[in-house]
Structures are given as structure tokens and as C-alpha cells.
């Protein structure tokens, strides 16, 4: 083989391998499975959605009405006009709701109850509605609440926050919780001209944080372990509620539970709501609605920063270049994790072909 053909062939195979390793490659060679955490789960409702996997349009499956209630709760499906209850039929309204859900959650849009969709629906998440009626911009993925509310306290503002003296958690001490929230608030403060200061005067604080169980009087009852993890209200309400039933963790080395939820990740997300951001369609963004157990996700992404800066302006000390740098390096790290097997397979494939050709 001439050197020209050798290089050309190598180039062709490299392109082929790169094409095969693309993350958006549509073919699924793995059997479709839904990962379900079966231990310690007391939240039976969402757990049951696994039986709806691959249910066809037009079919009747017991439990479909619960899925419809879920989609209604998060803003995707309205109550039927003819009857007051949801049926167990996979009707066209459900299909439209599934399509809207898939678009909003950044999933492949199939209109079917495929494994990506069912596992995302079953994942623990924030209780705030996804507000799917809002148009999704083609390049930006952050969103705001209706009317785009924000805190208005002048150009450089200070917002106070306090922990409820009554609604606490016995899992973590105050000395463990306070630094978590300090870090979470400081991430947002580093990108916008807003200071966050802790106060002991709970009633008069702008942002009031507490741990609550079940129905706690705001029309958004918590649901036990996993399911809904927390919710916060849009500006200038300031209520920030965490589900006291969760296994809140500040350190996964110490908290070994399979259903442990990272407090700092959830705190950072809910502060985004307190400031006026709604849910983002970008999976990596802090404002994406779901978070798996035992996952730490605390760094603001470009999407979060653009969203919040459009409301408050930029912190004069904020440098976009350093954010992009850290985002690139974390993408590389992320890529080396999630794309590793794909890339290794492609590389092995390429080497195998080269070996066969020599
Ligand atoms: Zn949320
Ligand atoms: Zn609440």
C-alpha cells in the first residue's frame, strides 16, 4: 500500500470512528433498560412508572392516569374537559404532553414512553413546574417565570437569608448546613451584583429557608423519600423549602445511603428560582429540573449565568473567560467519563480495522 493510500485510509477510518463515536449517534445497540433504585424508596408513585415503558398510543395501562397527574402537576397536561379524572388510556393529549416534556427536558423527541423518557420522569426532581408553555429559544435554554419577576433593590443590592428556627432537619447540624448555603449563595453572587447575607431574624429575611414534611400549607405538599426534593418561589416571595424526608448529604464519603441527595446541589438550584430563573432545558445547567441521588452538581454553567445576568446584570468582577475555561475543562472531564466507553470502543474498532488491513 502506498504511503498516500495509507494516510488516506487512516484518515477515512479516523473519520468513520469519530462519526461512530458521536454522542448524538441515533442507533441504540444497548438493550433499553430503566434503572430503578429499589432499596429504601418510599415514594411508590413515581417508582411505578417503569411498568409504562413502551406502552403504545391507544393502549390502556393501569397507572397511566398517575403519569397524567404527574405531567399535569409539572405543567404539561391540562385537566380533561369532559371528565374530571384522568383515564388510563394513552390518548393524543398524552402524546402531545410527552412531546412537550421531551423538548423541555432536552430528550430525544419521540412522543413515546421510551426508556430515556421514563427514567427521566422517575428521577428525583425539583417541585417547581417546568412552565412548558413558554417558547424555547433556539440557542438559549434558560427560562423565567411569568412576568419575568426579579428582586428590585437598586443597582447593587443585598438580600438577607435565614434558616427557619422551627422547620429544621435532624440529619445535619446547623454548622454543617450553613457553609453549604454560604457556598451556594456565593456562586450566584460571583456573577451578578447581588450580595447575600445571613441573618438570624427569620421573619424579616428576604429569603426564608426551611425543611418541611408532607403537606406544609403552601399547596405543594412534599412526597417522602426522593420524588420531589425541594421547591422555591419566584421573586420577591423568598420562600425556599426542602423536603425533610430526604437523606440530605454534605459529604457522600460519610453518607452512604443510595438515596442520599446532595444539599449543596439542590440549594444552588433553588437559589436560581429565588432569583427568578425557571427550569432550563440544558441537562448540564444548574437550572435543569432533575438531579440523581448521590450526584453533586454545583457549578453554574454558561446557560445559568446568561439567564441570571439578563435579569440583574453582571458582577463587575465576573470574568466570562474564566467560566468558559472551567466549563471547557469540566466538559473534557465529563467527556472522559461519559464518552469513555464509546471512544474506547471506537478506538478499538479503528485499531482492529487497521490491524486487519496490514
Ligand atoms: Zn427547580
Ligand atoms: Zn413548600
Ligand whose nearest atom lies closest to the CA of 286: 1
CA angle at residue 351 from 348 to 357, to 5 degrees? 140
Ligand whose nearest atom lies closest to the CA of 214: 2
pLDDT at 258 over 70: yes
Ligand whose nearest atom lies closest to the CA of 216: 2
The last residue of one of the domains, among 79, 105, 122, is 122
Ligand whose nearest atom lies closest to the CA of 131: 1
Asked if residue 138 belongs to a domain, the reply is no
pLDDT at 45 over 80: no
Report field, pTM of the whole predicted structure over 0.85: no
Partners of 7 in the β-ladder: none
pLDDT at 64 over 60: yes
Q: How confident is the model at residue 79 (pLDDT cuts 50, 70, 90)?
A: confident
d(CA 45, CA 50): 10
| Range in 121-130, 151-160, 301-310 the model is least confident about | 151-160
- The per-residue pLDDT for 255 is 96
Same domain, yes or no, for 223 and 313?
A: yes
More confident residue, 349 or 112: 112
Same domain, yes or no, for 89 and 180?
A: no
Query: 263: CA distance to ligand 2 center in Å?
Result: 16
Q: Which of 41, 47, 46, 49 is nearest to 257 (CA)?
A: 41
Asked if residue 140 belongs to a domain, the reply is no
pLDDT at 248 over 90: yes
- The per-residue pLDDT for 34 is 44
Asked if residue 277 belongs to a domain, the reply is yes
Query: 259: CA distance to ligand 2 center in Å?
Result: 21
Rounded to an integer, the average pLDDT of 287-310 is 96
Query: 23: CA distance to ligand 2 center in Å?
Result: 38
Same domain, yes or no, for 201 and 60?
A: no
Backbone angles phi, psi at 78, to 5 degrees: -95, 160
The last residue of one of the domains, among 78, 96, 122, is 122
Rounded to an integer, the average pLDDT of 158-174 is 96
Query: 232: CA distance to ligand 1 center in Å?
Result: 7
Asked if residue 254 belongs to a domain, the reply is yes
pLDDT at 290 over 60: yes
- The per-residue pLDDT for 25 is 33
d(CA 174, CA 165): 10
Rounded to an integer, the average pLDDT of 260-269 is 98
Same domain, yes or no, for 312 and 233?
A: yes
- The per-residue pLDDT for 141 is 87
| Range in 74-88, 129-143, 239-253 the model is least confident about | 129-143
- The per-residue pLDDT for 28 is 34
Query: 89: CA distance to ligand 2 center in Å?
Result: 32
Q: Is 284 a catalytic residue?
A: no
Same domain, yes or no, for 85 and 221?
A: no
Asked if residue 130 belongs to a domain, the reply is no
Asked if residue 104 belongs to a domain, the reply is yes
Asked if residue 265 belongs to a domain, the reply is yes
Q: How confident is the model at residue 331 (pLDDT cuts 50, 70, 90)?
A: low
Rounded to an integer, the average pLDDT of 67-79 is 92
Same domain, yes or no, for 161 and 279?
A: yes
* Structural domain that includes position 9: 3-23+339-357
Ligand whose nearest atom lies closest to the CA of 218: 2
Calculate what percentage of the chain has a pLDDT beyond 70: 76
Query: 28: CA distance to ligand 1 center in Å?
Result: 30
Query: 270: CA distance to ligand 1 center in Å?
Result: 6
- The per-residue pLDDT for 197 is 98
Same domain, yes or no, for 188 and 322?
A: yes
| Residues near ligand 1 ion, CB 5 Å cutoff | 126, 128
- The angle that helices 340-357 and 3-21 make with each other, rounded to 10 degrees, is 150
Q: Which of 284, 275, 267 is nearest to 307 (CA)?
A: 275
Backbone angles phi, psi at 249, to 5 degrees: -130, 145
Same domain, yes or no, for 248 and 200?
A: yes
CB 210 within 8 A of CB 224: no
d(CA 185, CA 275): 11
Q: How confident is the model at residue 12 (pLDDT cuts 50, 70, 90)?
A: very low
CATH number at residue 48: 1.10.101.10
**Count of structural domains within the chain:** 3
Q: How confident is the model at residue 84 (pLDDT cuts 50, 70, 90)?
A: confident
| Range in 74-78, 201-205, 249-253 the model is least confident about | 74-78
Backbone angles phi, psi at 11, to 5 degrees: -60, -45
Residue tagged active-site, from 220, 264, 270, 327:
270
Same domain, yes or no, for 271 and 196?
A: yes
Q: How confident is the model at residue 334 (pLDDT cuts 50, 70, 90)?
A: low
- The angle that helices 320-338 and 302-312 make with each other, rounded to 10 degrees, is 150
The last residue of one of the domains, among 79, 97, 122, is 122
CB 245 within 8 A of CB 227: no
Asked if residue 31 belongs to a domain, the reply is no
CATH number at residue 273: 3.40.390.10
- The per-residue pLDDT for 156 is 73
- The per-residue pLDDT for 21 is 41
Query: 46: CA distance to ligand 2 center in Å?
Result: 20
Same domain, yes or no, for 186 and 296?
A: yes
> Taking all residues of the chain, what is their mean pLDDT, rounded to a whole number?
82
Same domain, yes or no, for 322 and 353?
A: no
Same domain, yes or no, for 231 and 350?
A: no
pLDDT at 209 over 80: yes
Amino acid at each position: 500500500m502506498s504511503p498516500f493510500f495509507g494516510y488516506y485510509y487512516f484518515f477515512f477510518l479516523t473519520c468513520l470512528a469519530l462519526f461512530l463515536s458521536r454522542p448524538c449517534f441515533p442507533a441504540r445497540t444497548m438493550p433499553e433498560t430503566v434503572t430503578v433504585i429499589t432499596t429504601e424508596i418510599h415514594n411508590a408513585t413515581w417508582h411505578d412508572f417503569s411498568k409504562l415503558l413502551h406502552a403504545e398510543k391507544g393502549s390502556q395501562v393501569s397507572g397511566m392516569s398517575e403519569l397524567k397527574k404527574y405531567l399535569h402537576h409539572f405543567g404539561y397536561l391540562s385537566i380533561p374537559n369532559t371528565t374530571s379524572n384522568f383515564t388510563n388510556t394513552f390518548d393524543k393529549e398524552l402524546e402531545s404532553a410527552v412531546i412537550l416534556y421531551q423538548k423541555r427536558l432536552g430528550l430525544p423527541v419521540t412522543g413515546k414512553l421510551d426508556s430515556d423518557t421514563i427514567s427521566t420522569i422517575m428521577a428525583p426532581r425539583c417541585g417547581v413546574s417546568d412552565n412548558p408553555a413558554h417558547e424555547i429559544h433556539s440557542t438559549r435554554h434558560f427560562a423565567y417565570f411569568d412576568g419575568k419577576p426579579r428582586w428590585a433593590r437598586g443597582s447593587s443590592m443585598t438580600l438577607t437569608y435565614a434558616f427557619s428556627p422551627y422547620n429544621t432537619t435532624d440529619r445535619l447540624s446547623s454548622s454543617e448546613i450553613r457553609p453549604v448555603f454560604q457556598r451556594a449563595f456565593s456562586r450566584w453572587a460571583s456573577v451578578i451584583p447581588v450580595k447575600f447575607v445571613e441573618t438570624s431574624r427569620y421573619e424579616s429575611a428576604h429569603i426564608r429557608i426551611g425543611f418541611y414534611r408532607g403537606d406544609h400549607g403552601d399547596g405543594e405538599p412534599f412526597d417522602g423519600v426522593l420524588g420531589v426534593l425541594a421547591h422555591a418561589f419566584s421573586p420577591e416571595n423568598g420562600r425556599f423549602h426542602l423536603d425533610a424526608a430526604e437523606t440530605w448529604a454534605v459529604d457522600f464519603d460519610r453518607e452512604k445511603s443510595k438515596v442520599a441527595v446532595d444539599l449543596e446541589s439542590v440549594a444552588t438550584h433553588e437559589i436560581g428560582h429565588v432569583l427568578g430563573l425557571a427550569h432550563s432545558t440544558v441537562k448540564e445547567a444548574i437550572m435543569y429540573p432533575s438531579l440523581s441521588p448521590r450526584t453533586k452538581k454545583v457549578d453554574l454553567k454558561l446557560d445559568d449565568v446568561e439567564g441570571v445576568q439578563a435579569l440583574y446584570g453582571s458582577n463587575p468582577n465576573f470574568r466570562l473567560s474564566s467560566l468558559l475555561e472551567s466549563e471547557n475543562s469540566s466538559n473534557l472531564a465529563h467527556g472522559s467519563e461519559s464518552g469513555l466507553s464509546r471512544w474506547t470502543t471506537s478506538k478499538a474498532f479503528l485499531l482492529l480495522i487497521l490491524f486487519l488491513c496490514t
